[in-house]
Amino acid sequence: MARRVWTGGAVATLVVAALLAYGAAALLPMRAVASSSPAASAGAGSLGDGAVGVARLELAGLDATVWYPADSAAEGHAEWYPLTMRMDPSMPTLALGTARGIAIEDAAWSPDLEDAPLVLVSPGFALAPDAYSWLTEQWAASGSVVVSVDHGEYLDPSRLWEATVLRPQQLAEVLDEVEAMAGAGGAWEGRVDVSDVTAAGNSYGGYAVQALGGARIDIAAFATRCADARATGHDGAFLCDALEPRIGDMAALAGLHDVPAGLWPSVADSRIGAVVSLAGDSYLFGDAGLATLDVPVLAVGGTADADTPLDWGGELTAASAAGSVLLEVVEDGAHMDFVNVADAAPVWATWLPAGLAPSAGDGLTPSQAATLAALAEWEGSTS
């Protein structure tokens, strides 16, 4: 395990504040903040400098966004990405801001693209693929094809148990469709290599890609962790409150007759060759469950993260995963630091608690800069 410390600048408890802010959204305008140009955004910790295209499609019944190396002669306007969060099925999607990118919508693919690396991305709970364009565009600029899916969730922690079971299944089904598209006669024939995929995720997406990489749920270890958390007032206790009452429902949804006394059955996908977990949840696996995660892992987390505390996320993965792990620790890094910095945001967004509101201003957050720098090193060492 390697650990480096970077210096830089509870979802459950934020829902009421977010709903109050939502009520003000219709009354107050958008405001511009210090805006970074696409070139400046791409240059800070850049992974590559190639042209990038972006397209929207449906995969395995889910809305998906694809970033890909584009023809260098492609013309068009750089994409603006909304940062959205779904609060409740009865309410319109909440827009927290917008961020400018470098990708051109539906640009022609690079004519030289052949067997490009594939990156599969799982966003944070109730977030959409556009929230991570600072990273997905950079992967595409370096020559990878990036597929990110919208899991269709709402900001309701009581539904985390469903996401625990469904997310890895959904990602595997998306991979099946991409593999078919990349095969003989498919729309992406010859363009993408689906035999050695990097799976990346933020927050609960980090949980999902670790499961897909081989980590296994260990409810007994989770129960012990939760008992300790409640006794000590640990920040992670709210996650226990959301999941423990639904363990039986999780097992049923997973097709199990009973809750396993030990490790749950593996949902690993042999096509996953590496995992990137950004403030990813690891507490459901425990030491024994992470010992079956035997692919290379890059884990990034912040010391100020109360939604996925570092010792329940990256530090736990680094201590127990069987494969090689590079752990990046960002001093004062917060949970929302991994979503886009907003170039424009509604005035009411300034009223949101820090754990829910996106960063606004110029350039990348320290957590984002640390991630890009670590990726440049880590991908070289794992290729």
- Nearest residue to 248 (alpha-carbon basis) of 353, 164, 315, 177: 164
- 1-15, 163-177, 184-198, 318-332: least confidently modelled range: 1-15
pLDDT digits (tens, 9 = 90+) for 304-354: 999 999 999 999 999 999 999 999 999 999 998 999 988 766 555 555 655
- Report the alpha-carbon distance of residue 276 to residue 263 in Å, rounded: 23
Q: What's this model's pTM, rounded to 2 decimal places?
A: 0.88
Helix boundaries (H) for the chain: 11-25, 38-43, 133-141, 160-182, 204-213, 219-232, 237-243, 247-253, 286-290, 314-320, 366-382
- Phi and psi torsions of 41, nearest 5°: -65, -40
CB 299 within 8 A of CB 370: no
- Nearest residue to 378 (alpha-carbon basis) of 281, 307, 278, 309: 278
Share of the chain above pLDDT 70, in %: 83
Q: 343, exposed or middle or buried, with CB in 10 Å at 0-12, 13-18, 19+? A: buried
Positive/negative CA dihedral, 33, 370, 133, 353: negative
pLDDT band of 2, cuts 50, 70, 90 = very low
Pairing relation of β-strands 116-122 and 94-105?
Answer: unpaired
Q: 189, exposed or middle or buried, with CB in 10 Å at 0-12, 13-18, 19+? A: exposed
pLDDT digits (tens, 9 = 90+) for 108-161: 999 999 999 999 999 999 999 999 999 999 999 999 999 999 999 988 888 999
Given a cut of 80, whether residue 292 has pLDDT beyond it is yes
Helix axes 133-141, 366-382, angle to 10 degrees: 30
For residue 208, give the 3-state DSSP assignment: helix
- Report the alpha-carbon distance of residue 165 to residue 163 in Å, rounded: 5
2-382: CATH number: 3.40.50.1820
Domain residues of the chain, as ranges?
A: 2-382
Residues facing residue 32 across a β-bridge: 344
Alpha carbon 369 to its chain centroid, in Å, reads 16
pLDDT digits (tens, 9 = 90+) for 242-252: 999 999 999 99
